Structures are given as C-alpha cells and as structure tokens.
Chains A and B, each alone.
Chain A
Amino acid sequence: MEYFIQQLINGISVGSIYALIALGYTMVYGIIKLINFAHGDVFMVGSFIGLYSAKYLAAAGLPPVVVLLLSLIISMTISACLGISIERLAYKPLRKSTRIAALITAIGVSFLLEYTGVLILGPQAKGFPDIMDKKQVHLFGSSIQVESNQIMILLTTIILMLVLQYIVRYTKTGKAMRAVSFDVEAARLMGINVDRTISATFAIGSALAAAAGVIFGMTYNSVDPLMGVMPGLKAFVAAVLGGIGSIPGALVGGLLLGTVETEISSLGFSSWRDGVAFAVLILILIFRPSGLFGKNVREKV
C-alpha cells in the first residue's frame, strides 16, 4: 500500500508538469481551434530562460526563494512575449486560411524554435542549477517519501490554476476570451477586440508553459533544445484526453496521464509505459470522442 501511494505521489508530480503544458494547448485550441505544436518548444525556451536567470540571480547572492520566484517571473514574462510574437508573426496572417495551413505552420514554428536552440545553445544537454536544496520528507512516519520539490511542483500548479480560473471567470480579458471561444464573429460585433484577446490567450498559455519549463529543469536537472518534443506530445495527449478546449480537462488529463505512466512503470512494465499511455488515449477517444470534459457540440453543416 505504501509502495502504491509512493508511486501515486511520483505520478502526480509528473502529471502536474503535463497539466501545466496541456493548459496552453487547450486554451489556444478553445479560442482559435488551432493545435499549437510550437507550444512544447515554448516550454523549452522557458526552461532555458529559467536556467540562465537562476544562474545569474544565484550568483548575485539572492536567497533561494527569491531566486526561484524571480526566475519564474522572468521566464514567464519573456515566454509570454514570445508566445504573442509567434501568434502575430506566424498564425495571425493565416487566420482566414484553412486549418491545416495553420497546423503545418505550427509544426514549422516548432522546428524553427528547436533548431534555433540547437544553433545558439548547442545540442548538448545542460545541467540546471540547484535553486533550492531538495529535502526528503517522510509522511506520517511511514516509509513514504515526498520530496520538497514535488510539493513545490504541486503547489505551483495549483496556484497557477487558481489564478487562471480567476482570470478566465472574473476579469474582462477572461470574459472576452470566453466570448471569443463561443463565437468569434458575435464577439467582434459586441465590441470585443478579438486580436487582443487571442494575444492574451497565447501570452497566458506560454507563461504557463514557461513555468512548467522552470519546474521541469529544477526537478530533472537537465535541459536541452529538443527537450520540448516528448513532454509537448504527452501534454497534447493529456489535453485531448481531458477534452481539448476545457481547462479542468487539461488538469485532469495531465494528472491521469502522469499517474497511469508511473503506475505502469511501477508494476515492472516500464517498456510498455508509452504504449499504454497512448492506448488510454485511443480508448477514451473511442468511447468519448470529445474527451472526458469536452463539450459534445455538433458541427454545423
């Protein structure tokens, strides 16, 4: 039992990272019906910005908590700007063209970011600085170990999720986002600045990916320019699993995928891990084509 709970905790920390990245996919899809494949690479860029700002700030002698918060903020801000520029330069000119054109552009942007990273940073993995000392905490005197980092990941995810819910539900931008996702033309007629709303969506999604990137770097100590590919794909699966377009769906999908993967490995079938994760996706799509939390909307013909 303790073994099972231990693995559950491992799974939740993996799943939280998937969930943070999945949010960006789901928000962008919800608004402009585009699967933004460059999202995993924004995650990578965020991680690298976090690495360099953490190195610089730690060298300046700031306390660890401040270093963490500042590198998170710096990384999220710069990545938000990157997200907006990607949208303005690559996707906006294609808003009136077919969906597949935008999709292929997204893949192009993804490669552009990856190999610009290889060009500038070199292909080799880099070690991420230890921002905070990792401590092991034993739960209730049992043998279950929780790492301080795992707690921090979960806290950061929950806080960011609450902030996101607040933004979407109670702010003007959030209301505009919901309106645009419902009906772009009607929203425009109501005087909503659609372009600005879409930019805001990209900014928020990219900032969340950057936060995931910094957390990822802190947890696994290694970042490289192609690191966004696999987590990006997994987070996309998580978003589809939860119902693409749905914010709670991304959270649940991420956590579900993380725990399924971990439990499969923990049973000794580590080479089956990815296979089972994708099989779960296929099964859910067969029985609930719109995902767990997706709205079953009929397409107008």
Chain B
Amino acid sequence: MKKLGAIILSAVLTAVLASGCANNTENSGNSASGGNTAGGTIKIGADLELTGGQASFGDSVSKGAKLAVDEINAAGGVLGKQLELIVADNASKSEEATQAAQKLITSDKVVTIIGASTSTNTLGIVPVATEKKIPLVSVGATNPKVTVDERSGNVNEYVFRAAFIDPFQGEVMANFALDSLKAKTAVIYTDTSSDYSKGLQKFFEETFKGKGGEVLSQESYQQKDSDFKAVLTRIKAANPDVIYLPGYYEEVGKIVKQAREMGITVPFLGGDGWDSPQLVEIAGAAALDNTFMSNHYSSEDTAHEVTSFVDAYKAANGGAVPDGMAALGYDALKLVADAITRAGEADPAKITEALAATKDLQLATGKITLNDKHDPVKAAVVLKFVDGKQTFETKVNP
C-alpha cells in the first residue's frame, strides 16, 4: 500500500508542477524583429489579460488602446512616425506578466509598455521594467505599492499609472456608504488572492471606522471559488447595513447572485473590478439591484471628452459601449503618446522624464496630472446598477 501512497503523492506533485508552468500562450501582434524606430514606427508594448480570470479587462484595454493608436496614426502619428501596438498575453497571472514583459522588451524592442489591467499582474512587470529601464504605464493598477516600493518607500522611477489609487477609491465608497446610504454597520468580503482587493478593503475600513461606522466582520474568498453560501450564511446572521465586496466581476457576480437567492437584500458596494458586462451575465440584472460601484468614468457622463471617446469607440467596435477599462486603456496610450511628443524622441529614458512631468492632460477619464508618486490626480464616479445597467449616481473630485 506504500506504493499507492507514493503514486498518489507523485501524481499530486506532478499535477501541481504541471499546472504551474502550463499555459504559456503569448499572442504577439507582430514578428519579433527590428529596432526601436525601424521603418518609421514607434513600438509600444501592451502586457494584458487576454485569457484567464480577468480576460474581460484585457480585452477592453486592448480595444481602447487600439482606438487611441488608430486616432493618433490617422492624425499623422507621433513625431512624424506611426505608432505600433504589440499586445502580449499574461493569462491573468503575475508570473506570466513578467515573462510577457521580458518578451516585449527583449524580442519586440518596445520603448514603453502599457499594462497590466490589475495591480497583482502589474506588480509582476515592475521589476522587469525597472531592470531594463523601460517606462511602464499601468492601465488599471490601483494599489499604492505599484508605484511606491513598499519596503523602502521610494517611488519606482519607471512606473506610472493611468488609474486613481485604492485609498481614494476605498474612501469614496466608505463616504458614500455613510453619507448617501446612511449605513452604520458593514461587512467586508475580500478576495485574499488579490492585492487590489486587500488594498481596497484596508482603505474602506480605515475611512468607515474613522467616521464612526462599525465593521462587523471581515470575510475572505479566493479567486475561482464557486460556493459562497457558507460565508454568506454567516454574513446574513451578522445582518450588516452594507456589504463591501472589493473583488473582480467573476466572483462578485456569483456572490451577489447567491446572496440574493438566500434572501440577503442589503446593498453591495464595490470598486472598478466590477466593471465588466460579464457581471450582469453571471449575476443577472435582478440580483444587481441595490448595488453600487466606484469607477473611473461613466459612459453616461455628458462632458465633451467623454462623449467623443464613447462615439469613436462605438464606431470602431460595432456599437459596444466602452467600460472603464476601455477608457483607461485609451488614456494610458494617449498618456504615452503625449510623453513621447514632449520627449522629442522615442528614447525610453526621455519618455520616462516626460511622463513624470505630465500636467493637466485632458483625457477620456478626466484631466490628469501625475503627482510626485506617479499617481494621477483625477475624479471618480459612483455608479448604481438599474436593470443590469450602470447608471451615473455621483461624481467625486479628489
């Protein structure tokens, strides 16, 4: 029987090893050759979630970024050269994001990388970008430690971002819960496998407690979980005024659906990780009633820069309405293009300098200034779900 035990053990180990190094699919848009400016093009890499749990984000970002590239190229390009976007897949995994970035830098010779869509995956790219001295503009990373090294407290010289950071997002939702929803108690239900979720949880809790709210309990789940009834039964017994659920759409959809089926009717609040059409597909429109999320922009906003972006995106993507990630992807690329223009040449060091000096740049998600921590200072919106559609609730300035 010892032999059986050994076989089972080796089987488990093999399975774990195999799944660890599986799926190294990289979709490069182009062949890997040529220098920085060969053939009159400037190459910009995108390290995105084309497959895996956050594939919806990567898809939106790449569509937004492609739109920006097309617009810029149609208007004559940057410094008289055409932009070329090279997209690599990171399979929604941090370690694959590292590999994809290495490939973009060493074989595709890009001058700047945009991506990834999430904090965890961006953190996989940061060491590569820093080592190779290539500027990185994260599209959707909202965790503070992406641009500021956690241990030393120094700003990562080559890392920038297009999204606002978690303290602001967590704060906005805590204030919204206290002021608009008149909530006194909350339960926080965090995705412990995600840095983004833990960041939001921390700053929501600080603000909510700081202003007199009470956090009844902290619960956690992990990505790819599918049964949440045990914890939801616990939350139901605690009976909070609101439930803060700072996770990604796939699990959020399942959680909200199961909670509503169990008769939990209190509002769910979340962040920009909810922003995907799949949330509605998984949870269903009815379950999403009485839920709110903070986001980077609202497609219903009537400001000129928003409407022109929404119209162009719809025209390019068969009428699809751009979500927050699409807007951020568009903005990240415009941010890079602006920096290259100001740098005067497509040289990574000069682009880095120019990026750090970005000021009052008008983009689709608002007017952006990058502060000394390379974080944008800009407005957030709170959206409410009505019949499965995001509707504009309120806009909060920093």
Contacts and interface: CB of A to CB of B under 8 A. Distances in A.
A107 B231 contact: no
Nearest to B217: A268
B250 A118 contact: no
Contacts of B38: none
Interface in A253-296: 261-263, 265-266, 268, 270-271, 274, 285, 289-290, 296
Contacts of A103: 7, 11, 14
Contacts of B7: 35, 99, 103
Contacts of A297: 1
A6 B261 contact: no
B1 A7 contact: no
B227 interface: yes
A274 B16 CA distance: 15
A104 B14 contact: yes
B282 A125 contact: yes
Interface string A92-130: 000000011001100100010001001000111111001
Given A3-B237, A271-B192, A10 B51 contact: no
Contact of A266 (B56, B221, B224, B231): B231
B231 A289 contact: no
B362 interface: no
A136 B1 contact: no
Please indicate which of the listed interface residues B50, B220, B284 has the most CB atoms of chain A within 10 Å of its own CB. B220
Given A99-B7, A285-B5, A10 B278 contact: no
Contacts of A221: 253-254, 257, 282-284
A91 to B, nearest CB: 15
Contact of B250 (A125, A134, A145, A231): A125
B51 A118 contact: yes
Contacts of B230: 7, 10-11, 261-263, 265-266, 270
Contact of A222 (B4, B25, B221, B226): B226
Interface in B300-322: none
Contacts of A265: 230-231, 234
Contact of A7 (B5, B226, B233, B250): B233
Contacts of A231: 226
Contacts of B2: 289, 299
Contacts of A107: 14-15, 18
Contacts of B229: 10, 13-14, 262
B51 A125 contact: no
Contacts, number: 128
Interface in A1-33: 3, 6-7, 10-11, 13-14
Given A221-B254, A222-B250, A270 B219 contact: yes
A220 interface: yes
Contacts of B253: 125, 127, 221-222
Contacts of B261: 134, 136, 147
A38 B124 CA distance: 30
Contacts of B25: 115
B40 interface: no
Dominant secondary structure at the B interface: helix
Interface in A28-85: 35, 37
A235 interface: no
Report the interface size class on chain B: 35 or more
Contact of B3 (A222, A233, A270, A299): A299
A241 to B, nearest CB: 11
A202 interface: no
A229 B278 contact: no
Contacts of B10: 100
A240 B222 CA distance: 24
Contacts of A222: 226, 250, 253-254, 282
Interface in A217-268: 219-222, 224, 226-227, 229-231, 233, 240, 244, 261-263, 265-266, 268
Contacts of B22: 111
Contacts of B18: 107, 111
Please indicate which of the listed interface residues A14, A125, A224, A268 has the most CB atoms of chain B within 10 Å of its own CB. A125
A37 B25 CA distance: 22
Contacts of A147: 261-262
A220 B8 contact: no
B52 interface: yes
B263 interface: yes
B15 A299 contact: no
Contacts of B50: 123
B387 interface: no
Nearest to A135: B261
Contacts of A268: 217, 219, 234
B231 A290 contact: no
B163 to A, nearest CB: 22
Nearest to A126: B281
B79 interface: no
A233 B227 CA distance: 15
Contacts of A14: 227, 229
A289 B19 CA distance: 26
Nearest to A233: B15
A6 B220 contact: no
B93 to A, nearest CB: 12
B52 A123 contact: yes
19 contacts: A11-B230, A14-B229, A103-B11, A123-B50, A123-B51, A125-B282, A134-B261, A136-B262, A147-B261, A147-B262, A220-B227, A221-B282, A226-B224, A244-B8, A265-B234, A266-B230, A270-B221, A289-B5, A299-B2
Given A100-B10, A127-B278, A265-B230, 9 more contacts: A35-B11, A103-B7, A103-B14, A107-B14, A125-B278, A147-B262, A221-B257, A262-B230, A285-B5
